[in-house]
C-alpha cells in the first residue's frame, strides 16, 4: 500500500468513478451496480479531546445557497485537504470524545454560504404532495421500510449493519458542537402496539391502521467527519453531512448495505427513493421517490417532497448485482437539506442528498467493519 501524491490523487478521484461503468444499451440490459476500484481510508493517530457542552439546538434542516453550478466550480480537494475532511470525531456515551487523523491509500496491486434572511418554507412540497404514509405492520416491519429508524433528536436514520445507523451529521452536530440530547442519543424502532397484552389477533382483517410505538436502543458512539465540523454547511460543509451511529446492542433486523453512488444517468429511471419520519405526519413513516434533477461529485439535487424530520434518511436504489446475480437495494446517499439556488437569474429550490463517493464509502465501511479488507467492494 502506498500514499498518494497530490496531483496523482486528483486523477485517482476521477478514475475511481470510471471503473466498471456499464453502458445502458442492448436488448437485455439491466441497471447494474458498477464495479469500483476503491481507495483505503485508515486511522493514523488519535487524540483525546475535552468533553463537549452539548449546547446546540437540534436543526432538522440544513440550508445552503451554493447550488449545482457553485459546487461544480469548486476544485476537487487536494490529497492533504481530503485527509483533513475525512478525519473524524468520535463521541462516546460517557461524554468523552476523540479526534482521529486518517491516511488515504490505494492498493499497489490488485486491489455554500448560509441562506439569505428571506422567509422560506422549510422542506418544500412540490405541487401535489406525492408522499405515501406507510401503515400496517405487514409493511412497516418488512424490508425495505423496516430499515428506517427515528433518532431521539428528531431526525431519521437507516440501518446499514447489525449495530450501525447512517444519518445526517447535522442531526447530532451543528458544525460547532453537539446538539442537546446527543450524549443520551437513542434510536427508535417501530413496533406494533398491542392492547391488554394481546398479540394483535384479527388485526390483519381490520381496515383501521394499526397503532405503532417506538422501542428505543441507546447509542454507544458516533462518528462525524471533520469536513462537516470544519465546514458547517458553508461551501464544502454540506458535502460531508453524514454520521454513523453504533448501537449498544444489535437491532436484529434486516439492514440495507451502503454502496458507491453511480452517476444519475445510470440510476433506474434516473430516480431515487427514501423513507423518513416527516414532522407533519407524526408517528408515520413516509415513503417517496422522485427524479434526480442535477448532480455534482458530492451531491444529488432532487425535488422529492419532504418535511423536517426526514433529514438523515438513507437514499437508495435497486439495481442488478452481477454476483450473486440478483436485484439488490443499496444506500447511495443521505438526505440532507434544502437549497434555494440562483439558476440563470431566477431562484429555484431543491432538496439535496449527500452522495456516497468512493472515499466516503471507504470511510463509512471502515467505521462499520474495522478492517479495510472488508471494504473492497462498493
In the chain, what are the domain boundaries?
Answer: 31-104+135-192+209-369
Question: What pLDDT score was predicted for residue 139?
Answer: 65
pLDDT band at 322 (very low <50, low <70, confident <90, very high): confident
**Mean pLDDT lowest for which of 39-43, 80-84, 238-242, 321-325?**
321-325
Reported as a single tens digit per residue, the pLDDT across 127-182 is 545 555 656 666 667 889 899 999 999 999 999 999 999 999 999 998 889 999 99
Q: Give the model's pLDDT for residue 123.
A: 44
Tell me the CA distances in angstroms from 343 to 67, 347, 354, one per residue in order: 8, 6, 20
Known catalytic membership, residue 261: no
pLDDT at 343 over 70: no
Distances (CA, A) of 225 to 12, 49, 119, 205: 21, 15, 30, 48
Half-sphere exposure of 129 (CA within 13 A, CB side): 12
**Cβ-contact 314, 256 below 8 angstroms:** yes
pLDDT > 90? residue 6: no
Is-cis flag, bond preceding 281, omega within 30? no
Identify the active-site residue in 65, 115, 235, 349.
235
Q: Which of these is catalytic: 170, 173, 251, 273?
A: 170
> What integer pLDDT is reported at residue 119 of this predicted model?
34
Is 338 labeled as catalytic in the residue annotation? no
The answer to whether residue 311 is catalytic is yes
pLDDT 10s digits, 87-126: 999 999 999 999 999 999 987 554 432 333 333 344 454 4
DSSP three-state, residue 111: coil
Q: If we measure between CA atoms, which residue out of 313, 295, 297 comes closest to residue 305?
A: 313
Is the pLDDT confidence value at 241 over 60?
yes
Give the residue from 161, 163, 214, 140 showing the smallest Cα distance to 331. 161
Number of alpha carbons in the 13 Å side-chain half-sphere of residue 301? 22
Fold of 31-104+135-192+209-369: Thrombin, subunit H (2.40.10)
From 148, 152, 311, 313, active-site residue:
311
pLDDT bin (cut points 50, 70, 90) of residue 235 is: low
Contact 129, 123 (CB under 8 A): no
Q: For helices 79-86 and 6-16, give the axis angle rounded to 10 degrees.
A: 70
SS3 170: helix
Cis link prior to 266 (omega < 30° from 0)? no
What was the pLDDT predicted at 160? 98
Q: Which residues contact 75 (CB under 8 A, 6 or more apart)?
A: none
Query: What cell was used for 367?
Result: 467505521
Give me the percent of the chain exceeding a pLDDT of 90. 48
Q: Does the structure show a pLDDT above 90 at 328?
A: yes
Tell me 374's DSSP state. G
Instruction: Summarize pLDDT for 181-215 with one digit per residue, the tens.
Output: 999 999 999 887 765 454 544 444 344 445 678 99
Residue range 322-337: mean pLDDT, rounded: 92
Amino acid at each position: 500500500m502506498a500514499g498518494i501524491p497530490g496531483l496523482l490523487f486528483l486523477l485517482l478521484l476521477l478514475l475511481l468513478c470510471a471503473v466498471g461503468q456499464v453502458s445502458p444499451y442492448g436488448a437485455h440490459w439491466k441497471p447494474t451496480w458498477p464495479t469500483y476500484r476503491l481507495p483505503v481510508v485508515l486511522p493514523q493517530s488519535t487524540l483525546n479531546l475535552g468533553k463537549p457542552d452539548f449546547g446546540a439546538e437540534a436543526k432538522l434542516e440544513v440550508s445552503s445557497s451554493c447550488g449545482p453550478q457553485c459546487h461544480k466550480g469548486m476544485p476537487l480537494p487536494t490529497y492533504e485537504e481530503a485527509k483533513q475532511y475525512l478525519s473524524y470525531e468520535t463521541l462516546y456515551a460517557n461524554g468523552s470524545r476523540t479526534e482521529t487523523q486518517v491516511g488515504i491509500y490505494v492498493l499497489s496491486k490488485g486491489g455554500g454560504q448560509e441562506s439569505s434572511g428571506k422567509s422560506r418554507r422549510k422542506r418544500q412540497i412540490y405541487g401535489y404532495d406525492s408522499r405515501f404514509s406507510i401503515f400496517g405492520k405487514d409493511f412497516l416491519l418488512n424490508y425495505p421500510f423496516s430499515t428506517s429508524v427515528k433518532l431521539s433528536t428528531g431526525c431519521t436514520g437507516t440501518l446499514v449493519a447489525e449495530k450501525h445507523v447512517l444519518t445526517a451529521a447535522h442531526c447530532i452536530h451543528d458544525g460547532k458542537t453537539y446538539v442537546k440530547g446527543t450524549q443520551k442519543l437513542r434510536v427508535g424502532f417501530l413496533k406494533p402496539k398491542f392492547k391488554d397484552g394481546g398479540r394483535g389477533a384479527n388485526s390483519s382483517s381490520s381496515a383501521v391502521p394499526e397503532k405503532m410505538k417506538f422501542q428505543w436502543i441507546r447509542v454507544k458512539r458516533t462518528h462525524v467527519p471533520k469536513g462537516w465540523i470544519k465546514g458547517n454547511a458553508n461551501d464544502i460543509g454540506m458535502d460531508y453531512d453524514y454520521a454513523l451511529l453504533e448501537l449498544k446492542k444489535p437491532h436484529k433486523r434486516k439492514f440495507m448495505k451502503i454502496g458507491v453512488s453511480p452517476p444519475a444517468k445510470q440510476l433506474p429511471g434516473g430516480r431515487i427513493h427514501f423513507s423518513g419520519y416527516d414532522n407533519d405526519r407524526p408517528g408515520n413513516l413516509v415513503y417517496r421517490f422522485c427524479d434526480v434533477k442535477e448532480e455534482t461529485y458530492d451531491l444529488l439535487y432532487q425535488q422529492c417532497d419532504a418535511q423536517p424530520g426526514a433529514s438523515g434518511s438513507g437514499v437508495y436504489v435497486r439495481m442488478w448485482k452481477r454476483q450473486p446475480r440478483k436485484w439488490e437495494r443499496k444506500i447511495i446517499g443521505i438526505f440532507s437539506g434544502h437549497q434555494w439556488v440562483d439558476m440563470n437569474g431566477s431562484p429555484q429550490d431543491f432538496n439535496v442528498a449527500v452522495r456516497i463517493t468512493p472515499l466516503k464509502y471507504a470511510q463509512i465501511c471502515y467505521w462499520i467493519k474495522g478492517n479495510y479488507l472488508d471494504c473492497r467492494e462498493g
